[in-house]
Amino acid sequence: MKNKFWIKLILLWFLLTIIPAFYTMQHSVHYEKTFHNSRLAPIIFIPGSSATQNRFDDLFQTLNRPKTKHSILKITVTTKGKLQKTGTIAPRDKQPFIVIAFENNQDGYRNIQKQTRWLNIAMKYLTKNYNFNHFSAVGHSNGGLIWTLYLEKYFSANSLSINNLITIGTPYNSLESTPNNPTTIFHQLHQNRNKLPNNLLVYSIAGSTNYQDDGIVPYQSVEAGKYIFQKNVKKYTQTTVTGNESNHSSLLANSEVTKLIRDLLLKNDPNLMDDKSTQN
């Protein structure tokens, strides 16, 4: 009888202490994961035509000086919509760098449309697997067109919030230098401009040595972005950089462009508070 009594007492103690503690621990772990993921706010980069997932490597090296602070995940979307991934997001990194590139990285209106669809596939994968709900975006050259098309066509269907969009040397009117000659890509972007998120902050950077072009993209084509974004987003700002490294291919190495990215996207990142180069 005594043995049965002690067995019942031990079982009662187990039910009252161990099991509740286990569920409390499980709930705590789940809460911590959810809390961590909700704080994740990646910066997602898209390169221009003919560029690979490695296009931003030098920029990342500069932004991460004097020591690495942002982890890097790179994704290339194949023509079949499959994702090829390299790198990883560190567990405690609240603002990682993510690159989305495309196996078919060629120029052309039809290809840009396909790349926008592939971007949507990559974004769905990222939000599902990393559980973030807000981000900032950077697009170089046609990468800015792809971001703009995505925001107009796919963004509203996803439970996401975008903080900032920086486009660098983006040809909103293709290679047309005459504003009165709208191209197909400009017509589509302009026609659907009311679908852009109205709380978005947009910064368009143009490169020029003569205020005519950056060696490839006409200045007027970058400037055409104002007809797409103005009065449809919270704020639209265009900045022109001149002098050294202001041509199209070297814009990402331009010190002023790097500073703009630091100031606009990284200035509130606590990981960078000790970096004097981020101070105004």
Q: pLDDT digit string (tens) for 62-94?
A: 999 876 689 999 999 999 999 999 999 998 899
Q: What is the mean pLDDT of residues 240-264?
A: 93
In terms of pTM, does the model score above 0.75? yes
**Per residue in 151-176, pLDDT tens?**
999 998 777 899 999 999 999 999 99
**What CATH class does 42-275 carry?**
alpha beta
Q: Are 225 and 238 in contact (CB under 8 A)?
A: yes
Helix (H, G, I), strand (E, B) or coil at 160: coil
Closest by CA position to 44, among listed 172, 195, 166, 189: 166
* 167 phi, psi to nearest 5 deg: -115, 140
> Please, what sign has the CA dihedral across residues 269, 271, 277, 280?
positive
HSE-CB of 170 using CA atoms within 13 angstroms:
32
Helix (H, G, I), strand (E, B) or coil at 14: helix
Q: What is the mean pLDDT of residues 203-214?
A: 89
Q: What is the pLDDT of residue 67?
A: 67
Tell me how far apart the terminal alpha carbons of the chain are, to the nearest angstrom.
79
Q: What is the mean pLDDT of residues 218-245?
A: 95
Q: What is the mean pLDDT of residues 206-229?
A: 92
Distance CA 256, CA 262 (A): 10
User: Strand pairing partners for 165?
Assistant: 137, 202
Q: At what angle do helices 109-130 and 142-153 cross, to 10 degrees?
A: 70
* 148 phi, psi to nearest 5 deg: -65, -45
Does position 237 have pLDDT exceeding 90, yes or no? yes
- Of the candidate ranges 29-38, 230-239, 243-252, the one whose mean pLDDT is the lowest: 29-38
Q: What percentage of the chain carries pLDDT values higher than 70?
A: 81
